[in-house]
Amino acid sequence: MTNHKELQEEIKKRRTFAIISHPDAGKTTLTEKLLFLGGQIRSTGTVKSRKSAKYATSDWMEIEKQRGISVTSSVMNFNYKGHTINILDTPGHEDFSEDTYRTLLAVDSVVMIIDAAKGVESQTKKLFKVVSEHGIPIFTFINKMDRQGREPLELLEEIEDVLGIESYPMNWPIGIGQSFQGVYDRHQKAVEFYDTEGDNKQAMQISDLEDPVLKEKAGEDLVNQLQEDVLLLDEAGATYSEEDLQSGKQTPVFFGSAISSFGVPTFLNHFLDLAPSPAPRESSEGEVKPDEETFSGFIFKIQANMNPAHRDRVAFLRIVSGTFEKGMEAWLERTGKSLKLSQGQLFFASSRGNVEKAYPGDIVGLYDSGTYQIGDTLVGSKNVYSFGALPTFPPEHFAKVRAQKAMKQKHFYKGVQQLSEEGAIQVYRTAHWDEIVIGVVGRLQFEIFEYRMKGEYNVDIQFDTMPHQHARWIETDNPEDKVDSIRNMLVYDQLKRPVLLFQNDFALRWFKDKNPDIPLRESR
**SS3 of 161, please?**
helix
Q: Is 25 annotated as a binding residue?
A: yes
The gap between the terminal CA atoms of the chain, to the nearest Å, is 40
What's the CA gap between 419 and 450, in Å, rounded?
11
Residues 6+ apart with CB under 8 A from 319: 295, 296, 297, 358, 359, 360, 361, 362, 363, 364
Q: Using alpha carbons only, give the angle 376, 360, 374 rounded to the nearest 5 degrees.
A: 15
> Residue 398 is which amino acid?
F
Count of other CB atoms within 10 angstroms of residue 291: 17
What does the alpha-carbon distance between residue 336 and residue 340 come to, in Å, rounded to a whole number? 13
Answer yes or no: is 91 a known binding residue: yes
Is position 46 annotated in a ligand binding site? Answer: no
Q: Judge whether 100 is annotated as a binding position.
A: no
Tell me: is residue 92 an annotated ligand-binding position.
yes
Cα gap 252→167, rounded to integer Å:
6
DSSP3 helix / strand / coil % (the chain, rounded to 5): 30, 30, 40
Note whether 258 and 142 are within 8 A (CB). no
93 is in an annotated binding site: yes
Q: Per the annotation, does 145 bind a ligand?
A: yes
Residue 90 in marked binding region: yes
Q: Is 89 annotated as a binding residue?
A: yes
Residue 76 β-bridge partners = 87, 348
Is residue 143 part of an annotated ligand binding site?
A: yes
* Listed residue (476, 461, 460) closest to 520, CA to CA: 476
> H or E stretch including 227?
helix 220-236
SS3 118: coil
DSSP, res 224: H
| Cα–Cα distance, 156 to 315 (Å, whole number) | 39
Question: What string of DSSP letters covers 48-84?
Answer: --TT-S---TT--SHHHHHHTS--S-EEEEEEETTEE
Query: How many Å apart are CA 182 and CA 176, to the nearest integer?
Result: 9
Give the residue numbers of the binding site: 21-28, 89-93, 143-146
Residues making up the annotated binding site for GTP are 21-28, 89-93, 143-146
